[in-house]
Structures are given as C-alpha cells and as structure tokens.
Structure 1
Amino acid sequence: MLAHELRGKSIARTHAADAKARMAEPQMHDILALATSTGPWSASLVTAIDIASRCNGNVTGCYVPGSLRQQRAYETDPTIMSLLTDIDYEMPDESAAFRDFAKRYGAGHSTWAVTRTAIAPTMRKLGAWHDVIIIERDIVDEERVFDILGEGMLSSRTPCIVLPPHWDGAVSFERIVIAWNGTYESTRALHSALPLIQLAKHVTLINGEMRPPYGDQVSVTEPDPITYLAHHGIAAKPHFIRVAADEAGKTILNKARETQAGLLVMGAYSHSRIRERVLGGATRYVLANADLPIFMQH
C-alpha cells in the first residue's frame, strides 16, 4: 500500500514538473514566413526565426515572387508537393543561405520554398502545416491589402502575425494587448497566441464582450478570459470598453499605444458568412492603421 502511494506521489510530481516545463517552454513549433526579399532578409523571415528560437521551433521561409503578390486566387489550387518541392537546383544560394541564417540565430530545422501560386492559396496549403504565419502588410499594394491578405487570412484559418509597413525591428513580446469580445474568432486568437502571451511581462485584455440578445438561452457557460489566462500562468489586467462598432478598431489601437504594446492579439472578422472576403470594420481599421505587429485569426 505504501509503495503504491509513493508511486502515485512520484507520478504526480513528474506530471507537475512536466507541466511546469511545458509552461516554461512556449509551444509554437512550426512557423511559416512569406518572404519578399532575400538580400536583405525579409522582416517576416527575421521575425519567424526569432520566434522559432524562443519556442525551440522550426521555420519555413517561403518566397513569394513579385509577379504573384497582387494576384487573386482564381486559379486551381496547387498540391502541397508543388509548394514544397526541393528547389536547391533552382535557387541554391537562397536555400543554403537561409538554412545557415536560421541555424545561426537559434531556429531548429529550417526549410526554404518558393511558391508558384497566389498568396491566399499559399497560405491555405502551407498554413495547414504550421502553427502561425508571419506576413508583411506591404507584401501587397496598399489598395489591395484587404482583398488579398484578407482573403488569405479568412480562407486559411491559420493564425497570422501581420507586420506593419516598413517593419525592420524585432517583435517585442514584453507587453501584449488582447482584444476580446466573446466571439469565436477572438477566443480562437487568444487561445492560439498563448505561447507568445506566456512570454509577456505585462498583458492587458480589452473586454468588449457583446452578449447575445437572449443570453438565458445560451446552452453552455464559457470560461472567463481572465481566469482562463490565469490558469495558464498569465496575470492579465482587464480593461472594459463599451463603444459603437465603428469605434472599436480605433479604441483598440489607442489602448495598444497607451500601454506601449509590442503585439496586439485579436480575431479577424468578416461582415458576413456569405462574403468572407470582406473584412469587418474593426479588423479593417486595425489592419489599415496599426503601427505594431498584429496576431490575427479568423
């Protein structure tokens, strides 16, 4: 009986140690970066390698040729093999140099690829194999940001970190702002960003929850976001807002600037389920005006 109890305590201690180790090491192992240049390396590649080094992760650098960056996804989707074909014979300098660059700055395994299709199908095909996609907002012309990047984010469903135009610095995870309003998209974004939020010293959760008109008919009670974060070792400071929908994006960005956040986490919304390519008001405003990296998920 005593041996059984000791064994149970030993297992419990082991599980506790494993849980502590998992919390200490963020779990974001596969990072995809869509690149626009190799000399110098795109900001997306530098950011992806930085995150991979922090999370003991792997990184895929995928170069998007200029001729494909303004293209909509009207053509037939390619196969995953055509996107990840070994192209050493085609671009030996970039492939070898990227592996050296990634290894030198602490990433685990690295892969170099060149896409042969538009941004949205590339994000959809390769994103399914990765935990997050890093993309520069100015990978496309300003007037096509919502059409092309919006199409990619809404169709791939993979979390994305969108870097602001002309970004050339490191992404700071010391201060993070989470915009949450109780929607499925904002909850998925919060959950997917946990490995990065765990790196932060200061976390602010903007709570703009919009309750359904018949709240008493909701069939399940959801967790409180502050309590949920606390269960993951994150002490978040709540900030409640009640603003009109057309003011939400501006209010979110103002709070991010006020707290000197290095990253904003939020859901990516569409106006309707029928026309998912049309981004909602708050998403559109933040994407157009943010001067800090945004972690978004639809």
Structure 2
Amino acid sequence: MALKNLVVVVDQTAQSTARVNAAILLAEKHDAHLTGLFIASPPVLPSYVAGELGEGIIAIQRRTAQEHADEAAALFRRAVELAGIGGRSEWRALRGNPTEVTGIVGRYADLVVVGQVDPDRDGEVPPVHPEDVLFNCGRPVLVVPYAGRQASIGERVVIGWNASREAARAVNDALPLLEAAQKVSVLAVNPKPGFDGLGDEPGADIALHLARHGVMVTADHFSARGMDAGDMILNYATDVSADLLVMGAYGRSRLRELVLGGVTRHIMHHMTIPVLFSH
C-alpha cells in the first residue's frame, strides 16, 4: 500500500501547527494528497440554560466556532501553499463530535494524523482522542506530540516489536514509510520466547521480512524486568535519534490497560516523537 491519501486534524490551538507540518512532510515525501479536517462541536446547553438565555448564547457559540474554523483553515492553507502542495490538498469543515467524525472520515484515507492530547488544553475545545480514532477508523493513526516540532519524520524509525497481531499490522501499515527510511531499528523489550513469541533471536524474523522489502534494518532486544517497557522504548528511540516510532496498540483491552497500565497507554501519555499506531 502506498501513502497517497492523508488526513490531518486541524484546529485553532498552538499545537496544530506542528501537526500540520508533520502531515505536510509526509505528503511531500510520498507525493500524497492531504486533507485538512476541522470539526466544530455543536453547542451543548442544558435545557434550563437554553431557556433562560435564549438563542443569543447559541448564536455566540456558533459564531465562535466559525471563527475557530476560519483560523484553522487559514493555518492549513498557508502551510500547504508555502510547501508547494496546495494543488494536492483540500479543506473540510464539518460539525459533530470531533473524535467520532475523525474516525469516520479516516476510513477513507491511508493514514490519519492527529495530536497527542495536551493535559493543559482549553476544556472548552473538545480534543480528538487518538485511541478512540484508532478503534473506530480501521486505519493507522499517526499521533504527533503536543510539545516540540518535527524537522523530519520517517528518516530514522524504531519499531516496537512483540510479535503480536497488532505489531504485525503496524509494520504492514507502516511499510511505505519503512521502505523510504534511512534506518529502521526493530526493538524487542523483554522478549517472549518460543515459536509463538520472538524465538531464539528476538526480532530476527521481522527484520528478515523487512529486508526482503529492501528496508535497511537492524534488530535489538533488551530484558529489564524492573523498568517500564514504554520507558525503555522511548529511551531507545532517543538514543538512536529516531524521528518516528511504529507499534501495535492495545494488545489487551483498554480497560485492562487503564487499570493495570500498559505500553500503549504509557506511550500515548509520554511520547516525545510521532508514533504510528495500528490496532
């Protein structure tokens, strides 16, 4: 599969610039079409408030939403024109629940680009929740950190590999990026032995598969029972100067990860580079 149709969620927040720029980097590299998507949440007022304040407050909310949409459109159009890809881009402004709408629109794209949820985000602007988009759209989701800016994406890639169905799906979804990368590192943390795990040489089988696709790949593995696997992956990515992490998401239920913790949840909250998740 080639990456020829990308969707990026755009809003009026400061973090949106980095997200749009990340999507543009991929669109340029893969000669892809890029759709900027803005979703305005419909005004939600308790009936007793709407009755007291009347249509005036609703009109103000709608006007504010339109101003936000205009700001986001201007940001997106300025960025794609500056990058010279205006002819391969389009703008869509829709209404509804931002996470649900993104999941639906994302079904018609090769990759959906969203932002990591900023814990300090304005509570009046509903965020797009990457984990829900991931479950709803059936497409890989690239999550861009809310802090920092990416000078490159996909030049130096780390694959978090545990031989699961989700990890295999992620590698396949990311193949166009991996084939174009300068360096790919497969990392297995606390590898599970045996035929249904990572075998005697953790990461060797998936590295061989990628090498047959012409990917420049190496394989590493670490065992450290006392350290969080998510931290090990992020530290390794920093050590090799990675600009993209690829991994399967939620190999166990989200409820179980919420209660017990898990690698997906940890990286969702602590990512320092863009992460391509697949489920």
Deviation at 1:259, TM superposition (A): 0.7
Q: Equivalent residue for 2:101?
A: 122
Aligned residue pairs total 244
For normalisation by structure 2, the TM-score amounts to: 0.73
Q: Do 1:31 and 1:57's aligned partners in 2 also have CA atoms closer than 8 Å?
A: yes
Alignment match of 1:33 (pick from 8, 23, 40): 8
Q: Do 2:26 and 2:153's aligned partners in 1 also have CA atoms closer than 8 Å?
A: no
C-alpha distance in structure 1 between counterparts of 2:230 and 2:272, whole Å: 13
Letter in 2 for 1:113: R
| Of 119-128 and 256-265, the range deviating more from structure 2 | 119-128
Change (3 A) 1:245 1:281: farther
Q: Do 2:171 and 2:247's aligned partners in 1 also have CA atoms closer than 8 Å?
A: yes
Letter in 1 for 2:266: Y
Letter in 2 for 1:102: V
Change (3 A) 1:235 1:98: closer
Q: Equivalent residue for 1:287?
A: 268
Is 2:189 the counterpart of 1:210?
Answer: no
Q: Equivalent residue for 2:146?
A: 165
For normalisation by structure 1, the TM-score amounts to: 0.69
Q: Do 2:115 and 2:130's aligned partners in 1 also have CA atoms closer than 8 Å?
A: no
Structure 2 residue ranges without an equivalent (≥5): 44-67, 198-203
Q: Equivalent residue for 2:17?
A: 42
Change (3 A) 1:100 1:125: same
Query: SS where residue 228 of structure 2 aligns?
Result: helix
Q: Do 2:144 and 2:273's aligned partners in 1 also have CA atoms closer than 8 Å?
A: yes
Alignment match of 1:63 (pick from 38, 46, 53): 38
Q: Do 1:180 and 1:206's aligned partners in 2 also have CA atoms closer than 8 Å?
A: yes
C-alpha distance in structure 2 between counterparts of 1:57 and 1:152, whole Å: 21
Q: Equivalent residue for 1:82?
A: none
Identity %: 26
Structure 1 residue ranges without an equivalent (≥5): 1-25, 69-89, 217-222
Query: SS where residue 172 of structure 1 aligns?
Result: coil
Q: CA RMSD in A?
A: 3.7
Deviation at 1:102, TM superposition (A): 2.1
Deviation at 1:98, TM superposition (A): 4.3
Deviation at 1:203, TM superposition (A): 1.3
Change (3 A) 1:154 1:140: farther
Letter in 1 for 2:105: L
Change (3 A) 1:117 1:55: same
